[in-house]
Amino acid sequence: MGNEVYSTWLMKPCQKLLSKEAIRRITKSREGAWRAMRSLQNSNLEIVSLTNGLIFGALKMSGKYDLKGFDFIHYVTALLRGCSAIVSYDNHFDNLEISRVEP
């Protein structure tokens, strides 16, 4: 994947989570990117791999929730990992077993 394609691929999800100013600070310099990565590393964020077990676990629950695509995978991951909340602006996560908290 070329740098330009990778950058475009990476920016789309970031735009949903971060302000334009935050993205500008992160992408403006290598130091900004390193600071952002260190901040994530020092947070309680856990990156979970998408495994066959997770996919099959999600499929077993697919009739129980009215979520589609990645929202469904994110929600089932949170359930299986014992999360107490989902941090999101997306109101598709309202009225579920795990509460939604806006960032």
Taking the whole predicted model, whether its pTM rises above 0.85 is answered as: no
- Domain ranges within the chain, ordered by starting residue: 3-41, 52-101
Residue 4 has pLDDT above 60, yes or no: no
The residues with which 86 forms a beta bridge, in sequence order, are 100
**Which two three-digit tokens encode residue 90?**
């997306």
What does the pLDDT look like over 34-59, one tens digit per residue?
Answer: 777 777 777 777 778 888 888 888 88
Could you tell me the sign of the dihedral formed by the alpha carbons of 59, 61, 62, 67, in that order?
Answer: negative
What does the pLDDT look like over 13-41, one tens digit per residue?
Answer: 555 556 667 767 777 777 777 777 777 77
**What's residue 60's pLDDT?**
83
Span 73-100, mean pLDDT? 88
